[in-house]
Amino acid sequence: MEVLSAGLGEFRFTEPDAIRAWMRDRKRRDFIDKTLTAGEAVHRFVADGDYVSFDFSSYTRGPLGLIREIIRQRRRDLWYCAKFTLMESTLLVAAGACSRIDVGFMGLGESLNRAVEEGRVKVVEWTNGALTLRHLAGGMGVPFLPTRALLGTDTLKYSGARVVTDPFGGKPIALVPALNPDVGLIHVHQADLYGNARCFGPGVSPLETAMASKKVIISADEIIDHEEIRKDPAKTTIPYFMVDAVVPAPFGAYPGGVQGLYEADYEHFAEYTGLEREGRLAEYLDKYVYSVGSDLEMLEKRVGLGRLNGLRRRATIREGYR
Amino acid sequence: MTREFTEAEFMIAQCARLLEDQKTAFIGFGMPQVAAMLAQRLQAPQLVQVFEFGAIGPIPLTPFVRGTMGGPANCYRSIAWTSMNQIFAQAHVDLIDYGVLGATQIDRYGNINSTMLGDDFTRPKKRFPGSGGANEVASYCWKTIVIMLHERRRFVPRVDFVTSPGYLDGTPGARERAGLPSDTGPWRVVTSKALFGFDLESREMKLIGVLQGLTQAQVLAEMEFKPVVAEPLEALAPPTAAELRILREEIDPSRTIVGRPAQ
């Protein structure tokens, strides 16, 4: 296939046979209890320099508790996949945990944009669709997938995509390289001890993120019996053998919501936005991350049961989310 | 000039009028959502909104809350909840009639910039959040509608960065030559002062309507390039009482998106 043009962006690429070997050797097929605390899971499965992917949004079913734990454990030099990400990409950069971002869509507020302008964080340009397609390729074990997006744009020029002549139809087509993140972080409604997981409602790419990632950490609002999974298998979003750790995490998406369980805490987002605008994210991180030993302690001491119950009461739309 | 409506209200009402009932429309974040909600409450109750995170056909609850695009209020009473790869596949095979997008900057050929200002990618003068799903929407949908404030700095001869494709360099067949799906591209640009289409030959942006009470010169003064101008020019009706009532009382009572008319 003739390469007509190649994007300038740097990208992580793992050779498909190397991924096969990883999946063969590292992903367990036996039914073992994978529950860990967030602290244990991040300690074991997130290393400095890792490529980290996240699903789905800081407002809805995002693994914000796991993000806070990564910041708390002072991980450095992460390469972050900003497909549809808002607050968490800003927090990771503000905390000095992240030095590169694949964009998608990034940031909540202006401070992350300033960091890019000042060269404090490197970005590679993609789109939300290209990044989820790259996860699908990585999860399928193929080296790339084609797309008719990106073509003709500067987005392509600063991505790692390549344009080739379609060997079947003869027209130009963009190819995006497979992506196999080192770590996939996914918050779910329910999971069993083994990692069989259920997400209700739409999502960006929970399944593709789990398929593609070398290490998968699930955080779950509720732990359910394995028998419940077997009684209603159509509800399983992610099968257990993709999953490395299950973190029981009620309100694990806070300050975001989880559909049908609790609403996003808009007062918290307003507090964040105020501090972000004033360049005071260090105070935010101190209050919600560094000054507490765990997310549970944060929820108890910084949010409180009354407010959490209020968020549950406001989740009045339940249909479809069970 | 005092007006009884805001720039945002006019833009949103204009955009909503373009959306037809029982058609599919890919809806971007923010103002496109409000326009689709307004259309659904007027002429297009069965407008099938689709979103990049996979929701198909919701009837979003009001009031509109910014931020919760993927949450239960916006996804209420959907037809299907899918994923990003699936919904972009639907657009890829051209099941989606309209795309509705916001934009930071646009050029005479409808190329959209939502990435950066400046000429050095590694050190932009000003950085923005990036494409999101806009590149896919602008690449795939049959008819793309761009909704944006009418400000001189936003309408430039050439965007600093082509995030999402318009008619590229404007030469005939430029999109097809690049490999983009045939017969797609920007269809309307809806602004706070005017309505634009694109000239079928030159692919240049074409002024087709001006808000009643404004002159052509007032509109062109707020653009860094001169578009093709249609003859005759349409006079665009201001928001109707019904449109304003729905926007102010049902969709956005706190007026965070639509704002308040200047006193």
Q: Do A207 and B83 touch (CB under 8 A)?
A: yes
Q: For position B199, what pLDDT does the model report?
A: 97
Adjacent-strand bridge partners of B229: B207
Give B141 to chain A, closest Cα distance, Å.
11
pLDDT in tens, A30-77: 999 999 999 999 999 999 999 999 999 999 999 999 999 999 999 999
Alpha carbon distance B101, B25 (integer Å): 10
Query: How many domains are there within chain B?
Result: 1
Name the residue facing B83 among A154, A203, A257 (closest C-beta).
Answer: A203
Alpha carbon distance B217, B131 (integer Å): 32
pLDDT at A214 over 90: yes
Q: Do A148 and B139 touch (CB under 8 A)?
A: yes
B68 pLDDT tier (thresholds 50, 70, 90): confident
Rounded mean pLDDT, B196-209: 97
Query: Is residue B256 a part of any domain in this protein?
Result: no
Give A298 to chain B, closest Cα distance, Å.
23
Q: What is the ipTM of this complex?
A: 0.96
Query: Is residue B51 a part of any domain in this protein?
Result: yes
Q: Do A132 and B61 touch (CB under 8 A)?
A: no
Written as one letter, the residue type at A83 is: K
Window A:288-317, CB contacts with B under 8 Å: 315, 317
- Calculate the average pLDDT of chain A: 97
In order, the DSSP letters of A263-303 are: ---HHHHHHHHHHHHTT-HHHHHIIIIITSSSHHHHIIIII
Residue percentage of chain A with pLDDT more than 90 = 97
Name the residue facing B179 among A60, A130, A172 (closest C-beta).
Answer: A172
In order, the DSSP letters of B37-93 are: HHHHHTT-TT-EEE-TTSEES----SS--TT-TTSTTTTTT-SEE--HHHHHHHHHT
Q: What is the CATH number of the domain that holds B25?
A: 3.40.1080.10
Q: Which residues contact A214 (CB under 8 A, 6 or more apart)?
A: A19, A22, A26, A180, A181, A182, A183
Alpha carbon distance B33, B43 (integer Å): 16
Q: Do B81 and A173 touch (CB under 8 A)?
A: no
Q: Which of B7, B52, B136, B204 is catalytic?
A: B52
> Helix, strand, or coil here: A16?
helix
B189 pLDDT tier (thresholds 50, 70, 90): very high
Q: For position B56, what pLDDT does the model report?
A: 98
Give B3 to chain A, closest Cα distance, Å.
31
A85 pLDDT tier (thresholds 50, 70, 90): confident
Assess A272–B contact: CB distance below 8 Å, yes or no.
no
First-residue to last-residue Cα distance in chain A: 47
Cβ atoms of B198 and B187 closer than 8 Å: yes
Q: Do A56 and B53 touch (CB under 8 A)?
A: yes
Q: For position A1, what pLDDT does the model report?
A: 78
Rounded mean pLDDT, B17-35: 96
Q: For position A244, what pLDDT does the model report?
A: 98
Domain range list for chain A: 3-313
Cβ atoms of B229 and B195 closer than 8 Å: no
Residue percentage of chain B with pLDDT more than 70 = 99
Assess A235–B contact: CB distance below 8 Å, yes or no.
no
pLDDT at B1 over 60: no
Q: Do B53 and A103 touch (CB under 8 A)?
A: no
Alpha-helix runs per DSSP H in B103-192: 134-140, 174-178
Q: For position A84, what pLDDT does the model report?
A: 86
Rounded mean pLDDT, B179-201: 97
Q: What is the pTM of this model?
A: 0.97
Give A69 to chain B, closest Cα distance, Å.
24
Q: For position B263, what pLDDT does the model report?
A: 67
Rounded mean pLDDT, A198-219: 97
Residue of A80, A93, A151, A317 best to disrupt the B interface, most CBs of B under 10 A: A151
Alpha carbon distance B18, B35 (integer Å): 10
Cβ atoms of A172 and A163 closer than 8 Å: yes
- Number of C-beta neighbours around residue B162 at 10 A: 24
Query: Is residue B152 a part of any domain in this protein?
Result: yes
Q: Do A103 and B88 touch (CB under 8 A)?
A: no
For chains A and B, what is the number of CB pairs under 8 angstroms?
Answer: 188
Give A99 to chain B, closest Cα distance, Å.
14
For residue A119, what is the DSSP state?
Answer: T
Residue of B27, B76, B83, B163 best to disrupt the A interface, most CBs of A under 10 A: B83
For residue A262, what is the DSSP state?
Answer: B
CA of A56: which chain B residue's CA is closest? B53
Cβ atoms of A200 and A232 closer than 8 Å: no
B66 pLDDT tier (thresholds 50, 70, 90): confident
Written as one letter, the residue type at A276 is: E
Q: Do B70 and A105 touch (CB under 8 A)?
A: no
pLDDT in tens, B72-117: 999 999 999 999 999 999 999 999 999 999 999 999 999 999 999 9
B139 pLDDT tier (thresholds 50, 70, 90): very high
CA-closest candidate to residue A5, choices A155, A113, A190? A155
Is the peptide bond between A255 and the residue preceding it cis, with omega within 30 degrees of 0? yes
Instruction: Taking each helix axis as running N to C, give the angle between helix A38-45 and helix A64-72, from 0 to 180 degrees, rounded to the nearest 10.
Output: 70
B262 pLDDT tier (thresholds 50, 70, 90): confident
Assess A207–B contact: CB distance below 8 Å, yes or no.
yes
- Number of C-beta neighbours around residue B262 at 10 A: 8
Is the peptide bond between B232 and the residue preceding it cis, with omega within 30 degrees of 0? yes
CA of B57: which chain A residue's CA is closest? A202
- CATH number assigned to the domain with residue range A3-313, chosen from the 4 options 3.40.1080.10, 3.90.1580.10, 3.40.50.620, 3.30.70.3400: 3.40.1080.10
Give A240 to chain B, closest Cα distance, Å.
20
- Calculate the average pLDDT of chain B: 96
> Helix, strand, or coil here: A316?
coil
Which pair of structure tokens corresponds to residue B220? Answer: 């062109």
Residue B181: give the domain boundaries.
Answer: 7-251
Q: Which residues contact A185 (CB under 8 A, 6 or more apart)?
A: A52, A53, A54, A55, A63, A66, A67, A217, A219
C-alpha triplet B93, B97, B102: angle, nearest 5° = 110
Alpha carbon distance A105, A56 (integer Å): 12
Q: Indicate if B52 belongs to the active site.
A: yes
Residues of A in contact with B73 (CB under 8 A): 317
Alpha carbon distance A204, A221 (integer Å): 18
Cβ atoms of A39 and A244 closer than 8 Å: no
Q: When comparing pLDDT for A6 and A13, which is higher?
A: A6
Q: Which residues contact A23 (CB under 8 A, 6 or more apart)?
A: none
For residue B153, what is the DSSP state?
Answer: G
Written as one letter, the residue type at A157 is: K
pLDDT at A226 over 90: yes
pLDDT in tens, A138-193: 999 999 999 999 999 999 999 999 999 999 999 999 999 999 999 999 999 999 99
B3 pLDDT tier (thresholds 50, 70, 90): confident
Q: Do A127 and B71 touch (CB under 8 A)?
A: no
pLDDT at B184 over 90: yes
Q: Do B124 and A132 touch (CB under 8 A)?
A: no
CA B5 to chain centre: 19
Alpha-helix runs per DSSP H in B93-209: 134-140, 174-178
B2 pLDDT tier (thresholds 50, 70, 90): low
pLDDT in tens, A253-295: 999 999 999 999 999 999 999 999 999 999 999 999 999 999 9
Name the residue facing B161 among A104, A154, A203 (closest C-beta).
Answer: A154
pLDDT at A308 over 60: yes
Alpha carbon distance B27, B38 (integer Å): 13
